[in-house]
Structure 1
């Protein structure tokens, strides 16, 4: 389902991970940032295979919260995030994107019951696959899919909410030509979309960039701003 690029440059779990803001949302242990008040939209960040404890993912949640969003990063893997010592082939069958979609629905429903004015979801690699399965349920108003795991034309054909797709130029898992085709499919279906390919970066760069790689850092920050702008457009 996923390739070796999905496993490169793993985060150092525990390095800068703030566990002070862990709550249960939709039955899932979740890192939270910002305030959930009736006038605030909520964002759900869906991790790649390395899970919700990844420090850069939590830092991104904090950054988005400063712009007026209530942000949750649920543990879709129930404490069993992928680690390099594991076999990806044996790990994936226990963590299908379809199950992630079911959990995503529960999280979104819980957030709406708590008063979120609107809900967006951003998925990274595996997380983007989970979002694509949500299309027919209507729980969210907008999505951003970043360097997605393997998606099919059928997955994209089913998407009904405005969707931005942010990809890497050097990505065999989700190559640029395929992502551009996905944009064409969405446009043909009258779904507002935004597809952007960031030059010179590889799969996973948005949350697994190296701090000493100035170009990757610059592109990651640019992708975060593009994500913020997309959600601001549709949720505020």
Structure 2
């Protein structure tokens, strides 16, 4: 995450958004939605703006409607990135919220989900969250992963992942440009034992899947296409 693009179009956070509710899961405030009787769960791991972003919660509701129990933990402990706080630029904020800590925090979350009777888990990571997902995939703590405009993920990470992976990227992305995503694709092609695909969406920028303008029909259409692709992947592998 090496430029301002990751910080553009910040959402207006709303703790009351979504049709689900917030409860403690492994000690973390977590937006949960979907049938608690489901044995299939999806973890949505947010970008730097955190779990109160309305478009992210709307997406969680959509995934839940497909039959999943969905959890969106607050890995930032009530401290999402705030662009207006000029005393704490994103690189300073990241020192307090590294993806490595996010990965460690997912382990008890996954155990908490399993204690509810969940047997299969998928995870989708948005920007910051993609690095957490790749670490989960290396350890096979999930059954499938999806990256949406990833940050921090290296080619070496892709070489080590062990679960089916879908990568949804943007044509205009200075954080993970198409050239990098094509490198992911080349590596994945050498690993036929891991089902995967890379898709680069035209005419969209980093963050388009959750930081879109709801009044912009084209932006909504592109975001919804990515949501459908994500859900199709989970339907295929998280059953």
Output one character per residue of 1:169-228: Cα deviation in whole Å (capped at 9) or x when no partner. 111111112112212212312311021111100000000001232222111000000001
**Is the 1:109–1:139 Cα contact (8 Å) retained in structure 2?**
no
**What's the counterpart of residue 157 of structure 1?**
159
Structure 1 residues 14 and 186, CA gap change in structure 2 (3 angstroms)? same
**What's the counterpart of residue 8 of structure 2?**
8
Q: How many Å apart are 1:15 and its aligned residue?
A: 7.7
SS in 2 for 1:83: coil
Matched, 1:201 2:204: yes
**What's the counterpart of residue 182 of structure 1?**
184
Q: How many Å apart are 1:16 and its aligned residue?
A: 5.8
**What's the counterpart of residue 214 of structure 1?**
217
**What's the counterpart of residue 118 of structure 2?**
116
Output one character per residue of 1:16-59: Cα deviation in whole Å (capped at 9) or x when no partner. 6248611111221100010122x531000000000000000001
**Is the 1:19–1:31 Cα contact (8 Å) retained in structure 2?**
no
Output one character per residue of 1:49-91: Cα deviation in whole Å (capped at 9) or x when no partner. 0000000000100011011000000000000100112311210
**What's the counterpart of residue 46 of structure 1?**
45
The aligned runs of 1:1-236 (5 Å cut-off) are 1-14=1-14, 17-18=17-18, 21-37=21-37, 39-86=38-85, 87-189=89-191, 190-236=193-239
Superposition CA RMSD, Å: 1.5
Q: Point out 4+ residue stretches in structure 1 off by more than 6 angstroms.
A: none
With the length of structure 1 as denominator, give the TM-score of the two structures: 0.95
With the length of structure 2 as denominator, give the TM-score of the two structures: 0.94
Gaps in structure 1 of 5+ consecutive residues: none
Structure 1 residues 123 and 211, CA gap change in structure 2 (3 angstroms)? same
**Is the 2:18–2:58 Cα contact (8 Å) retained in structure 1?**
no
SS in 1 for 2:137: coil
Q: Which moved more, 1:75-84 or 1:24-33?
A: 24-33
Gaps in structure 2 of 5+ consecutive residues: none
